[in-house]
Structure 1
Amino acid sequence: MASTKKPEWYQHEVQSINPEAQRLLESYSGFRPDEVLPHVLKLLIVVNHVYSKRDEAFSVFHYPCIGHLRFLTFQLPHHPAYQRILSRLRDDPSTGILEAGCCFGQEIRFLADQGIPSHQLYGCDLEQPFIDLGYQLFRDRESLNATFAVGDLSSPDCLDPASPIFQNLAGKIDIAFASSLFHLWDYEEQLRVATHLVRLCRLRPYTMIVGRQLGNVLGGSYPMADVAAGTNYRHNVQTIKGFWCDVGQATGTRWIVEADLYMGEELTKVKNAEWANENDRMLWFCATLQ
């Protein structure tokens, strides 16, 4: 039986949510301002909610994004490539964007609230419960027409023409956004996932794979207790550029890579985690197909 003990970075009590989530739950989901926090906190009493569902999701996989309620934080609009992404989505209605490892699909809802048509929005995750919880959180099962697929991006099976990921995503994606995804694995597994993403994308000029994740000033492998077995690879600017060279060699492609390290506020919340390192930073990257 899996342990129900929550690690020390798990946030047990929630007294407020960030202003962006508050605004979106009002403007997109249609809640009155005074309904938002009760919606997030109540246990299946009046409206769809998140707080008890967060415990349910946490029992599926012990990801810090669940324990920290990161699903109520939008990362894409703060990414340096965001304005380019938004312009492409608005200027070309054939452009598709994938939220890879979408969890509750919060970035998809942010884009929908910005007026991006649902047919341009795609999400995939390892577990259907996360996707279902997203519909409950944003109260949009009947109104959102985005495409979601369930499957393992690290498995070669995701490229099987019969797989849900391949059937729903292959040849439809021009931009992939991966937030807090690649850092779940070691270097070789990251390479496998990136290779799969490239092969799912529609390879035309300016195809983009962008993300943000845990990095380190001293790029390399680090123990990853609490969250994943074994180690994970934490990139710096030099190693992420080398990584995309390796992706290019594996897929017969070439990528222009922009990247930087920064001190993300989320690092303060995990500083006491067993796997935390004093040289940890957040890393953003943008790989654009040449």
Structure 2
Amino acid sequence: MWQRVPIDALIDLVTEVFTAHDLPWSRARMAAEALCHGDLTGTPESGVAELTRLHLPMLVNGLVRPRAEPLMIADRGAAALIDYRRAPGLWAVGDAMDRAVSRAGRYGVGLMSVRGVGPFGRAGHHAARALPHTMIGLVMAAGGERGTAANPLGMAAPAGAYPEFVLDMDTLADVDSSAVAGFALLVEIFAGVLSGVGDHDHDTGLMVMAIAPTTLRSADGFYKAASALFGSLLGWEGGNPVRYPGWREAQYLEQCQALGVPLNEPVHRELEDLAKALRLAPLQGR
């Protein structure tokens, strides 16, 4: 059985849960948006269902530090290496992308090599933080806690007149076996070796990059080229429309905006119990 709840109500509740666990509000909000991404794009198994399974236990046990301040290890203008010192990954990876976007605005490209983050949700969500700036976002990760995605990769790009391209994959799970080794090593080099992650079982290394296409060509030229590329994919093949990553997710989000976010009964009940335990307003009635 599924129940629908308003998007804002869901994100507000998760934000309040994180603030109750000592995250500053701005971090809690970013973390809530990152965690709810799965529920808003049709992959609920990576959404709020992981709140009590993964994220809260790590906060309670001290494995993630809610107020950890990032340490800049090296800064070379367009590129930098940052240790987030076990900050919540749901916030930290988004923060790293925001920093990359800022640098891309100055240099055309911004690359943040990152280590010391907790579980961060879906790589595609963090890559998509570049989209409002008409930039391309790329996130690769190596290492991490047991039970989290293996070598996730996320990429987001403006698609001109069409829904934005958002690729979100776990390389060891989604790539054909003949290509696994090479593709996984690619991610390991960019995300693990570059960031200097030493303990893959308890730390995550990432490469977070933003590219500003309009520093290389005109905005109009890029828009037309992107529209032509993604428009060419929307033909018909065997009676079925051809869609690219990001298209169905955009449609699913529209449904959530209109009808509410579907939550299965156990997850809905878990959130209501959590709200009651923390003396927060319940989902129903927000």
Q: What is the TM-score normalised by the length of structure 1?
A: 0.31
TM-score (normalised: structure 2): 0.31
